[in-house]
Structure 1
Amino acid sequence: MEIHVCPLEPSPLLSHSFVKKASFGEMKLFYTETTIYLLVCIRSGNKNMEDIRHLGGELRKKVDKEFLSQTVTINFNGLFKGLEHVMEGSNVANYVTAFMEGWYLAGYRFQYYKRNRLEMDYVLEFNYSSYSPYVALAKTKSDAVCLARDLCNEPPSKLTPEAYASKIVEIFRDTDVDVAILDTADLTKHGLEAVKTVGKGSVHPPKMVVLTLKNTVGKHVALVGKGVTFDAGGVNVKTGTGLWEMKMDMGGSAAVVGAMKLLSDLNSSVYVTAVIPLVENVVGKNAYLPADVISYANGMHVEVGNTDAEGRLILADGILYAQDVGAETIIDIATLTGSIGQALGLKTAGVFTNNEKDLWTYKEIGEETGDHVWPMPLIEDYKAYLHSDYADLNNRSASKYGGSITAAIFLQQFIKRHMKWVHIDMANTVLPWKVYGYHVEGATGFGVRLLTKLIEKELE
């Protein structure tokens, strides 16, 4: 069976009145004696790349719904030519890539633990000489996002710190990314006491994974991703519904892994070090306690005001390590605070930086990639909320307001003055705010495309 995907307009197959009234993305199946057509409205308007991605996702879901478990060939030539014509020919590469990215992402399912798995592979046809590079790029990008999705969707008992570290070794085995695993002795050697402290309540020892991709001798950028494989809150134990989502408290680390895989697969000319602290934050006989004091490699001492504010503790270790290996720009990403969701809702992450002039550029990059971010302020006066009577800082804010800002201020204390730093709080985006377009049930893979573009921007 072959399905020809074509623009709705112009089309002799449907009445002129229907075509005229159709809105962007509206689809209609039409059968002739010899051919099946899937007609799609793509008339121009204020449509961006994300609209085109969601169009690709909705079309994939339409095909899955109508033709699942059948042998189907999808012919995209008509649609691609329509995109080239309607959306301006000069942008055909971007539009075709975005559309196919949505197509591939919408076909993702996490089915490793299902006995009856849905098979949804289709044969794709298009003009290979014209469109093949764009389709291949879309597949590479979507594979990296789906890698991050897979990591986030894994059960916590299957993705303990040591299992996660081993999985990362396998992911990068045949790539140009070097992988180093720091175990307990290495953590001690490098003064990474926060990672050791947060992880010591678990029977699964903490690790730190360091990935290095050096395809150039230019600027050195570091990514730091929070890797809490399950966050029960430690002694300040979490309660309430939705605790299962805490298996995704390593969403920042998944974004970093996906971005490094994408940069490697694209053979990007970059020098990037990724630092991924991995811990399980649970209650155990050796668990760290409120009022404990953690000593950092830079001489800073932090009082533990709340064991459920562990993310900033281990990120600080990661940031210090990244500076020690010579990074000139640091980008950290983490499912850090529920407060960011209160501020921005469930679709958009918060972005902070000590170079404010770049904030709106980051917002534009988020819109381009589909990983939306919104500029947030670093209000220096809020450092007062992190006062400790017994140490240099407390990891718990004295105020119930502005939690995402005080968390960012905490991290900023570990950044050297000359260092450029970007912090992304993605706590609200690890799951889709709505299952539509290319979003499916389970993790979004947020941050993979965003981090990749941020690095490209830094190296321009």
Structure 2
Amino acid sequence: MHIHIMPIHETNDKGLYLKEDASVEFGTIQFIQQEKELVVFVGMNKAKISLEDVRFLGGVCRKSLHKMKAATVSIDFLTLASYLTHLELEQIVSGFMEGWYLAAYQFLFYKQAEHRNELIVQWADERWKVYDREARIRANAVNVARDLCNEPANKLTPTSYAEKIKQLFYETDVTVQVMEGDALNEVDFPGVYAVSKGSNEQAKLVVLTLARDVAKDKIALVGKGVTFDSGGTNVKAGSDIGEMKMDMGGSAAVVGAMKLLADSAIPAHVVAILPLVENVADGNAFLPSDVLTYRNGLHVEVGNTDAEGRLILADGLLYAQSLGAKTMIDIATLTGSIGSALGLKAAGVFSNHEADLWHYKQLGEQTGDYIWPMPVYDDYLYYLKSDCADVNNMSRSSFGGAITAALFLKQFIKHDLKWVHIDMANTVRPWREQGYYVAGASGFGVRLLVEMIKTEIRHEFDRNE
């Protein structure tokens, strides 16, 4: 059987085929059988349709066909484009197919009875295959992040994670360096060293480098890679602790972004730093009241071992600066507070260059990785005071936890360098399984990070003109 997907805006557009009470609201699906062809009408009735809406349509169409035993499908992109005159045809085809491929994602590695349902798309115009290839590349990169986050904690340890990364970038122009053992010592990487002490799983620090244009300023991505977070000595409570297998969501976003860069032709000079640890407690675990000394001389009192992410991110940010990075973007499932502030749809973005925050918000809307600008109030250092060290890793206030976490990280940034922090603890899973989102991890951050890198490249070009 063949399936034909056709957009529809008004019921009288195809009144011959649709019931009088049929809905054409945005994203609704109507099925009509015509001999050996199944026509799928998708509602387009919305005042202004964005590129993210186009991805949404691709997702709902693909999901609606999940159980259909069809071999081929065709999509009426020309009719779709007639409703979307504000978008280029390339954007429409690639956006729709990106949503299509993302909605088809399934994590089936540990399910014997499940199988993937593949549909072959027939192209009315061979030129559209180029746009489809772009969509596949973007969706595949997001799905890399999804796969990593969905892995159970006993399958994705720091060691196996590092091996997966090496395999992923084998025979690409991304070089992979894995630091371990004595290289991650208490002097050079005190956060990684301390957090990993309580686990039998050895810590790793993975460095990915893409140097297509070394004349450009180096941009660093730093991703939190806690493969499981029990809280350490300050053990977590609650029935949903299994969710902490996704506490490496920031690092997964970085891996996905590097995959997208590797598969594209962007002339980037990027280094990605991924501290990979497991935060559990045994007799060797680090303790509240421990004091860590970082390579910039800052002394940190451990106020809470469950605020471990910022300790290892500090190592990553300092190491990025030692490698000559001029701009640093860190991303992490860092605080529950960000969800209390923003809900579950948008992550928080912080920076020491506040003027750029609203542009990043626009990038989030364009990519579907929604973010919202957040402040970094230096006055809140008051809450991070320590009686015995320069700073505490835990705020003494129960309010503004996402802000004080960002402020903690800011203490490790040189004043003349650019720093951006994304707290995605609330978006590692989709807020709703709608459109192209499915059960499991969202793959948040992959597309956003790449667009942020492209923005930084353009800014550097403009400065040098």
Please give the residue correspondences for 1:31-430 in structure 2 after superposition, counting only pairs within 5 Å.
31-43=33-45, 45-65=47-67, 67=68, 70-76=69-75, 78=76, 80-88=77-85, 91-188=88-185, 191-216=188-213, 217-430=215-428
Please state how far the C-alpha of 1:208 moved relative to its aligned partner: 0.4
8 A Cα contact 2:24 2:44, kept in partner: no
Q: Percent identity?
A: 52
1:14 and 2:11 equivalent?
A: no
8 A Cα contact 2:187 2:294, kept in partner: no
Indicate how the Cα distance of structure 1 residues 155 and 34 shifts in structure 2: closer, same or farther if over 3 A, else same: closer
Structure 2 stretches lacking a partner, 5+ long: 459-465
8 A Cα contact 1:83 1:92, kept in partner: no
8 A Cα contact 2:335 2:423, kept in partner: yes
Please state how far the C-alpha of 1:90 moved relative to its aligned partner: 5.1
Q: What's the counterpart of residue 5 of structure 2?
A: 5
Tell me, in whole angstroms, the C-alpha distance in 1 between the residues paired with 2:455 and 2:37: 46
Structure 1 stretches lacking a partner, 5+ long: none
Deviates more, 1:292-301 or 1:3-12: 3-12
Please state how far the C-alpha of 1:15 moved relative to its aligned partner: 4.9
Please state how far the C-alpha of 1:89 moved relative to its aligned partner: 6.8
Q: What's the counterpart of residue 461 of structure 2?
A: none
Give the 4+ runs in structure 1 shifted more than 4 A.
Answer: 15-19
Please state how far the C-alpha of 1:130 moved relative to its aligned partner: 3.0
Indicate how the Cα distance of structure 1 residues 283 and 250 shifts in structure 2: closer, same or farther if over 3 A, else same: same
Task: Find the residue that maps to 1:259 and give its secondary structure.
Answer: helix
Tell me, in whole angstroms, the C-alpha distance in 1 between the residues paired with 2:18 and 2:444: 41
User: What letter corresponds to residue 317 of structure 2 in structure 1?
Assistant: I
Tell me, in whole angstroms, the C-alpha distance in 2 between the residues paired with 1:422 and 1:173: 29
User: What letter corresponds to residue 43 of structure 2 in structure 1?
Assistant: C
User: What letter corresponds to residue 276 of structure 2 in structure 1?
Assistant: L
User: What letter corresponds to residue 64 of structure 1 in structure 2?
Assistant: H
Please state how far the C-alpha of 1:71 moved relative to its aligned partner: 4.0
Deviates more, 1:282-291 or 1:38-47: 38-47
Please state how far the C-alpha of 1:188 moved relative to its aligned partner: 2.4
Tell me, in whole angstroms, the C-alpha distance in 2 between the residues paired with 1:206 and 1:229: 10
Please state how far the C-alpha of 1:93 moved relative to its aligned partner: 1.2
Deviates more, 1:44-53 or 1:421-430: 44-53
CA RMSD of aligned residues (A): 1.4
8 A Cα contact 2:24 2:45, kept in partner: no
Task: Find the residue that maps to 1:409 and give its secondary structure.
Answer: helix
Please state how far the C-alpha of 1:432 moved relative to its aligned partner: 1.1
Tell me, in whole angstroms, the C-alpha distance in 1 between the residues paired with 2:21 and 2:103: 27
Tell me, in whole angstroms, the C-alpha distance in 2 between the residues paired with 1:7 and 1:338: 40
Tell me, in whole angstroms, the C-alpha distance in 2 between the residues paired with 1:54 and 1:228: 31
8 A Cα contact 2:207 2:274, kept in partner: yes
Indicate how the Cα distance of structure 1 residues 64 and 13 shifts in structure 2: closer, same or farther if over 3 A, else same: farther
Tell me, in whole angstroms, the C-alpha distance in 2 between the residues paired with 1:59 and 1:183: 46
TM-score, normalised via structure 2 length: 0.95
Tell me, in whole angstroms, the C-alpha distance in 1 between the residues paired with 2:151 and 2:27: 33
